[in-house]
Structure 1
């Protein structure tokens, strides 16, 4: 089996840099991602260009000023309620359609995720604030497969191709498990969605394991993932295992040709759903 062209799916983060992690341009066809830590008063300019963008205020407070050539100017001042992604509350987020520009200004230390996907410039969506009360929170799995989900930008909310969700997985638990994939354009059974995982760990010196693999094993990588790292999922199954003593957070960004989340479980492990 030829794996000579298998891409490196692990993008290492840098906890001491202003840009915590940046997925290289073109690493995925549909999904773009970066995360940034801003000091008090620092600003982060964001230009959507021909993409759509979801800014997620992971922690801290910020003012977001945005403008769109047809929709005008917008400002959301001093937003943000949590000081850590591990707090039991949803974040604030801002949606930016194509051709938008925004400026994020931190009030105290703030961590910002910039999630990108192809946009449709012919649609007339406006920049908007997504408040925590608008986000659905749910629990998935049971026993050592329990995890806690917050839908930031689900497929029921207005956007062109972008989907954004965050997940907390407790110590010693599994997540994105049993393994599933969404890499085939075969609706209504399954949708094609690329995905990125932005990982955070508590305590920060922890790690998790994530495997990305296909049925034929032409793609099969088992990754040791640390705080601020990103794992890319161009295709295949992508479960996460959290070692004892550490809590996992990850922010998922998904996008593809059709904005729908329909997945296929690995038949070898689907029996676990019957336990």
Structure 2
């Protein structure tokens, strides 16, 4: 891999900051067409107003709660203490709108976005409606919070989920890709990974993220040591594994969008590693999972 590729696709904490945002990744800065992510920290009694422009956005509490005012409506988000303690509620904000986020106690909030054509109504997503999926087995066990997965919560282009990987486990495995349009087999999606890593006592955590080329013209090649607040951009290529260091649970927020007329997440496993799925039925699920469940959560079987 080249140093330029690594610098362009691995964004350590602070390097993607802009204005009020600790992370500000948009189609223009990423060099692609659709997916975006912003992360903002609000102090107690802080607020932030933003214009959605040509993109739809979901306001997702990473820590703390807030209110979201938009389109003449006022939504209250209970939020959570942090990403390792619970599923959160969220708010969808349409394109061509303005929204104000305000927090009495302060917190950290993600804005997951995608350029889109349709203007859908603003609405609230309850934590109780988030399907929690236990994916993989053995050392590949992980938890997926499908809050804005395709087929779960209506958006025009945006697909977004959260993944929790217990310390020592591998997720995003087997490596997979979604950089070509193959009807019924693979969808073309850009993807952002945003990481939070659990500390052990006062020791910060770390993990690793791999992205490898899938062929000529699809040449993203990254091996990154990731820490809390880092982001990795994946315009193409096989991505995975995402490796959590022993003793440090890993969280990542996946934001995806693409040019397809259908909003769908269709992936192709790396042919050298796809066999691993066949070994899972003979292995137990990691007993540390589920890390948590929302109240009255719809459950999704392990797979």
TM over 0.5: yes
Which structure dedicates a bigger proportion of its chain to strand?
1
Note the C-alpha offset of 1:4: 9.0
Report if aligned partners of 2:10, 2:222 keep a CA contact under 8 Å in 1: no
Note the C-alpha offset of 1:149: 0.7
Note the C-alpha offset of 1:14: 3.4
Match of 2:84 among 79, 83, 86: 86
1:43–1:207 distance in 2 versus 1, CA, 3 Å: same
Note the C-alpha offset of 1:165: 0.3
Answer yes or no: is 1:97 the counterpart of 2:94. Answer: yes
Indicate the residue corresponding to 2:165 in structure 1: 169
* Cα shift readout 1:165-221 (whole Å, capped 9, x = no counterpart): 001000100011010001101121100011001100000711111011123383321
Gaps of at least 5 residues in structure 1 are 68-72
Q: What secondary structure does 1:108 align onto?
A: coil
Cα distance in 1, alignment partners of residues 167 and 225 from structure 2: 16
Match of 2:134 among 139, 147, 157: 139
Note the C-alpha offset of 1:49: 1.0
1:116–1:224 distance in 2 versus 1, CA, 3 Å: same
Note the C-alpha offset of 1:3: 6.2
1:5–1:207 distance in 2 versus 1, CA, 3 Å: closer
Report if aligned partners of 2:144, 2:163 keep a CA contact under 8 Å in 1: yes
Indicate the residue corresponding to 2:73 in structure 1: 74
Report if aligned partners of 1:3, 1:219 keep a CA contact under 8 Å in 2: no
Indicate the residue corresponding to 1:59 in structure 2: 63
Q: TM-score, normalised by structure 2?
A: 0.82
Indicate the residue corresponding to 2:148 in structure 1: 153
Cα distance in 2, alignment partners of residues 43 and 76 from structure 1: 14
Report if aligned partners of 1:136, 1:150 keep a CA contact under 8 Å in 2: yes
Indicate the residue corresponding to 2:177 in structure 1: 181
Match of 2:29 among 3, 26, 29: 26
1:183–1:119 distance in 2 versus 1, CA, 3 Å: same
Indicate the residue corresponding to 2:205 in structure 1: 206
* Cα shift readout 1:196-255 (whole Å, capped 9, x = no counterpart): 011000007111110111233833210111110111010111110111110000111000
Cα distance in 2, alignment partners of residues 3 and 173 from structure 1: 27
Note the C-alpha offset of 1:26: 3.1
Answer yes or no: is 1:47 the counterpart of 2:51. Answer: yes
Note the C-alpha offset of 1:112: 0.5
1:210–1:124 distance in 2 versus 1, CA, 3 Å: closer
Gaps of at least 5 residues in structure 2 are 280-303
Q: TM-score, normalised by structure 1?
A: 0.90
Report if aligned partners of 2:220, 2:235 keep a CA contact under 8 Å in 1: no
Indicate the residue corresponding to 1:70 in structure 2: none
Q: How many residues align?
A: 264
Cα distance in 2, alignment partners of residues 53 and 182 from structure 1: 22
Q: What secondary structure does 1:102 align onto?
A: strand
Give the stretch that moved more between structures: 162-171 or 109-118.
109-118
